[in-house]
Structure 1
């Protein structure tokens, strides 16, 4: 008896076609998903992964500071010129007034000499004017003496002739002569006295003007002498000479720095600070440093806000006496405190910040890292303060993102 053989629903060929189609669609879908989310396979040895912590955020910044004298005085020349003689070497200890070098300037010396000659001539002319005034005074005084002498003689004669004329011993003509002489010398004495009074008033004013002019001329001469003396540069204070490297023939402009004198009265620290902190560093903030095994406290005394090479400068003074072993140029690390410690989420510092500016990070989970927006607050020499976007215990790639910052997913293969 014949059997009925049922026909298979799917042939082997059909099954292979369906399977192939499913695989193809899966590959297309996977490829499409990859096109939407760019994936980068990173070598785990070349990335740094840090865990988010919760703890005290120490709001400090580490500075590399240099030791500089507490007070330095700039040495300069009021008149430019070339170096003619050098008397002292760099690093020498000097006292105030010690000659350092001599500047030569032929044009300036010629001008000084001409001015000195002109001032001397004016002083001599003023002295002559004073002598002329004194001579005129003597002449008038002599005239007054002569007039008064003649008046005394005329007065005696007038009195005598008045008595004789009353007794009719002399004639009227003789009496009139003596009377006329008496009146003449009285009038002349009055005129001479008025002339002397006017001369004294005028002489007083002229002498005051002469004295003022002579004082000005003498001040000019003194200034000229000082300018000539200043061609020899002298130490303005006692201390140690630094930044001083003149050579014979080297030219310096007027008021150009020739060197410095470090006044040996103690030291301070000077440090460059990253411009990131320019709004947070203020005078009066405290700091500390270690030197020869001891910790010293410091205070920010001056903030210089001009930014050069992405840094601004601060000066820090020791609280109390500075260490005796300090010398100019020594370097030391200073920990500057910006504010009190506070509890916060902490993320280790890394080069990722240069790529993202702290606006996002790659968060690692099960061997894959994905982008996540975050908010970073303050930073210190170890950590960033995390304000938003991360939780305690999460892991973050903190090394550089330069190779994969354009990707969405980082696969960290093992």
Structure 2
């Protein structure tokens, strides 16, 4: 007889599937339980723990400053053009008036030359008009002399004829002739005198206008000639040439910077400061720097509040003479004092601040770290000032919280 073979209820494949499912459910349950308790396990060597201290809080900020001259004068060309000739090199020490380079601009030069010719012609015409006025004055003066001479002659004859006519020596007709001549020259003199007076008034006004016009035209000529001369760029002041790299044939626009001249009267420091300190940095605050083993005192002379790339600029001047060995472009570290030292709780700076903004921290106790709200005040290059939430000698995780900032408790494995 055939024997009935009973089919197995679970085969190997089914058992594996069941086991895998159970393991998966267990892992999910474990993860869920961890999420409920919000516990994160961290290795001790991968985090930084700092102890809260009590001591002097130095209200200072470290700045990376650059050495710049006290005074720099920009070299530029009032007329655009291309570089035709170079007379000196970057870094050279120059005196005021030293030729630096020559700019070529044929169109501008042609316009200047044409304007110069036109103005010169106008000046010549005005000078000719002035000569004509002076000539006319001489002619009228000559006419007046002639009339006065004729009047004197006619007056003398009239007096003589009057005496002779009264004695019946000459006829009435002869007397009338001399009388008419006398009256005629008197009238001519009166008319010419009035004409001379009016002419003199007009001539004075015209000569004044001519002189003003000629003066203005001469100023225009001087400006044109100066512009032509300015195509040869000269050092405006004495000093050291910097930021100067012209190339033959390179084009520059009008008033475009060609270089700088650093006036050799000392140096100052210029530094970028994090915008966090914008309301705390003031003119007159003191700072210190070290150079060649010596400490130098500085004062904030200018604060430029414009924020660029998260920073604003300050200028600091040396108290007294700046070091002789300084050169433009040198970098120096400056310690800027914002206020006097004060006793405070101190917490070392760390990347935790980027995660929490200083509103809370993980406080370590018995191998575990838990969240605690805190209040952070000022900061310097080493510490944060703790205002609330922490006590002296408590330990805090100060490294980055990016991996576990959503957890409530950190278990630290050593």
TM-score normalized by the length of structure 2: 0.91
Residues 321/188 of structure 1: CA separation in 2 closer, same or farther (3 Å cut): same
The aligned counterpart of 1:14 is none
* Partner of residue 254, structure 1: 254
- Aligned twin of 1:10: none
Structure 1 residue 35 displacement after superposition: 2.8
**Residue aligned with 2:303, SS:** strand
- What is the alpha-carbon distance in structure 2 between the residues aligned to residue 141 and residue 155 of structure 1? 21
Structure-2 separation of matches of 1:314 and 1:106: 44
**Secondary structure at 2:73 match in 1:** strand
Corresponding residue number in structure 1 for 2:394: 394
| Alpha-carbon distance in structure 2 between the residues aligned to 1:410 and 1:130 | 102
Q: Residue 170 of structure 1 aligns with which residue?
A: 170
* Aligned residue number for residue 96 of structure 1: 96
| CA–CA separation in structure 1 for the residues paired with 2:198 and 2:288 | 80
1:140-196 Cα shifts (integer Å, max 9, x gaps): 111101100110110111111111111211110000000000011011111111111
Output the TM-score relative to the length of structure 1: 0.91
* Runs of 4+ with deviation above 6 angstroms: 27-32
Provide, for residues 48-107 of structure 1, a one-character-per-residue CA deviation record: whole Å limited to 9, x for no partner: 000111111100001111111111111011111111111010000000000000111122
Q: 1:334 to 1:253 in 2, by over 3 A?
A: same
Q: Deviations over 1:27-58 (max 9, x none)?
A: 99987653323222111111100011111110
- Secondary structure (helix, strand or coil) at the match of 1:400 reads coil
Q: Which residue of 2 aligns with 1:13?
A: none
- Taking structure 1 as reference, are residues 28 and 189 closer, same or farther at Cα in structure 2, changes over 3 Å only? closer
Question: What does residue 58 of structure 2 align with?
Answer: 58
CA distance in 1, matches of 2:283, 2:213: 52
Q: Which ranges of structure 2 fall in alignment gaps of 5 or more residues?
A: 1-26
Pair 1:157 & 2:157 matched: yes
1:137 partner SS? helix
Note the residue ranges of structure 1 that are not aligned, 5 or more in a row.
Answer: 1-26
Aligned residue number for residue 356 of structure 1: 356
Specify the alignment match of 2:186 in structure 1: 186
Counterpart of 1:37 in structure 2 is 37
1:298 aligned partner:
298
Q: State the superposition RMSD in angstroms.
A: 1.5
SS of equivalent residue, structure 1 residue 119: helix
Q: Cα distance, 1:293 vs. partner?
A: 1.4
Distance verdict in 2 for CA 1:182–1:291, change over 3 Å: same
Could you tell me which residue of structure 2 aligns to residue 145 of structure 1? Answer: 145
- State the Cα distance separating 1:263 from its structure 2 match: 0.5
